[in-house]
Structure 1
Amino acid sequence: MSHAPHLQPHHATRAYWARDAIIPGIYAIAPMLPGTLAFGLAFGAQCAQKQFSLAEVEVMMAIVYGGLSQFVAVQSWPDVLTASTIATLALVTTTVNIRFALMSASLQPWFGTLPPWQAYPSMLLVTDGGWLAAMRYREHGGANAWFFVGGGIVLYFAWLLSSIPGYLLAEQLTDPKKYGVDLVMPAFYAAMLVPAWKGARRAIPWGIAGIVALFVHWLVPGYWFIISGAVAGSVSAGVMGDD
């Protein structure tokens, strides 16, 4: 008999709710918390330098919950908001966040067995790190929805609160390079690749995505390199197929 009651055979189970998976779910995302906190700290400082109020920062943290897309939006924030600049910000945010739609779709075989009123709100907690932890859990036969949701709630509140000290200490963080804050995002996403490594062949789309993104960034102004790299990586992975 298994000593991990929150795990059941993947092919034979539907998603269910049992609180014994909450702590394992939090434990699985614990290594991501330092990066999340540093990420939020840097974002709070950036918002303060853009003259946002702390209330505005917290509202954005709570309802956008987009990580990188928030950085991009604030960096692109115009001096005067008009219909066209708002539309541009919405497009940029959508472009960066479109990956969450794909991640949510990949969770459909698991969470799709739940009632819609349970499944769809759970997808609001999808993050890069949380998704990776959930997919590893699912690959090992996990079906308990609390594993994903419990860890996701902790990440959400860590992100929500992390911007406050960054905002209050913005004057000390005016030079991101002084404390290495400018390295937070690339280091965070590079670290995420480690548990996703499944051999050199599977990593080829990563390389293609990176090369295309760099090439487009060099040729085209703006943030088109993000979606170009994502599309190139996805198409190459689809063409290659499984081993």
Structure 2
Amino acid sequence: MSSPRPSFSLPGLLPGARAAIPAFPGFIVFAMAFGAAAAQKGLSLGETMGLSAFVYAGASQMVGLEIWQKVWSPATILAIATVTAVVNARMILLGATLQPWLRHEPLPRTALNLFLVTEAGWLLGTRYYSEGGRDTAVLLGCGITLWLVWQASTFAGYFAGVLVPEPRRFGLDLVMPVFFSVMLVPLWKGARHALPWLVAGAVSLAVHALVPGYFFIVAGALAGVVAGMLIE
């Protein structure tokens, strides 16, 4: 028997919002860390909230802080756009997996759903779909809820960061490197699968030493992808 065709119902927004609750702790901590780091970097509240509202991609926002400049030039704009595109390239695959679910949706609603997609929302949504659920409102409700939590936590984190005049004194300048290091732990699948990480790190360090600017981020990412493809 064929599976039922996906549909949309307003009551489905509430189960989607409830499904998002388990992701709250991670979202709150990450968004507060970003808000605090942005404040310490010298961004205004408007700039910080704008990044969280419209970029809405934690890893890209953190990397973007490393490139953020007081005075912008075409080169720095190109650098931050390129790095954001590379870091967010994983969303291409997430979007492709949602195609069977969203292909009958109106384009505006599909665009909103895809804008709000995060790894957590994608995982919760695809689990619901794999269990036979077809109401796209569940995915949208989950996405909207997580987006609102992200904004509120960024706001709180920003003022927490402003209250710390000397972040280095408390080691808060290490928030970003520590966060990304911790992110690697659950991804560990043995030494063989860690080789792309090693290649990416080595290439990044080499390019950072030899080439000015932020090309080392893109070079390391591409090197890691190529290494992973060769290993597989």
Calculate the TM-score normalised by the size of structure 1: 0.77
**What residue is the counterpart of 1:174 in the other structure?**
167
Distance 1:130 1:71 in 2: 20
With over 3 angstroms needed to count, the CA separation of the structure-2 counterparts of 1:24 and 1:189, relative to structure 1, is farther
**2:140 aligned with 1:145, yes or no?**
no
1:41–1:165 CA contact under 8 A, matched in 2: yes
Distance 2:137 2:91 in 1: 19
Q: CA offset at residue 226 of structure 1?
A: 3.5
C-alpha offsets along residues 145-169 of structure 1, whole Å, 9 cap, x if unaligned? 0111001000001111211121111
**What residue is the counterpart of 2:23 in the other structure?**
32
**What residue is the counterpart of 2:211 in the other structure?**
none
Q: CA offset at residue 67 of structure 1?
A: 0.9
For residues 150-165 of structure 1, the aligned pairs below 5 Å read 150-165=141-156
C-alpha offsets along residues 69-94 of structure 1, whole Å, 9 cap, x if unaligned? 00001112234310011100100111
Q: CA offset at residue 20 of structure 1?
A: 3.8
Identity rate of aligned residues, in percent?
A: 31
**What residue is the counterpart of 1:200 in the other structure?**
none
Distance 1:62 1:207 in 2: 38
Which of 12, 24, 29 is the matching residue for 1:21? 12
After superposition, the CA RMSD in angstroms is 3.0
With over 3 angstroms needed to count, the CA separation of the structure-2 counterparts of 1:226 and 1:130, relative to structure 1, is farther
Letter of the structure 2 residue corresponding to residue 212 of structure 1: P
Matched position secondary structure for 2:89: helix
Distance 2:171 2:120 in 1: 25
Letter of the structure 1 residue corresponding to residue 167 of structure 2: T
Distance 1:22 1:231 in 2: 40
1:15–1:144 CA contact under 8 A, matched in 2: yes
With over 3 angstroms needed to count, the CA separation of the structure-2 counterparts of 1:12 and 1:120, relative to structure 1, is same
Distance 1:130 1:108 in 2: 15
**What residue is the counterpart of 2:119 in the other structure?**
128
Distance 1:151 1:61 in 2: 17
C-alpha offsets along residues 103-152 of structure 1, whole Å, 9 cap, x if unaligned? 11110011012222322221111101101111111111111001110010
C-alpha offsets along residues 207-230 of structure 1, whole Å, 9 cap, x if unaligned? 63x420232212224223345445
Letter of the structure 1 residue corresponding to residue 30 of structure 2: F
Which of 37, 42, 45 is the matching residue for 2:36? 45
Letter of the structure 2 residue corresponding to residue 223 of structure 1: I
Unaligned runs of 5+ in 1: 1-8, 194-202
**What residue is the counterpart of 1:213 in the other structure?**
197
Calculate the TM-score normalised by the size of structure 2: 0.80
Aligned residue pairs: how many?
Answer: 217
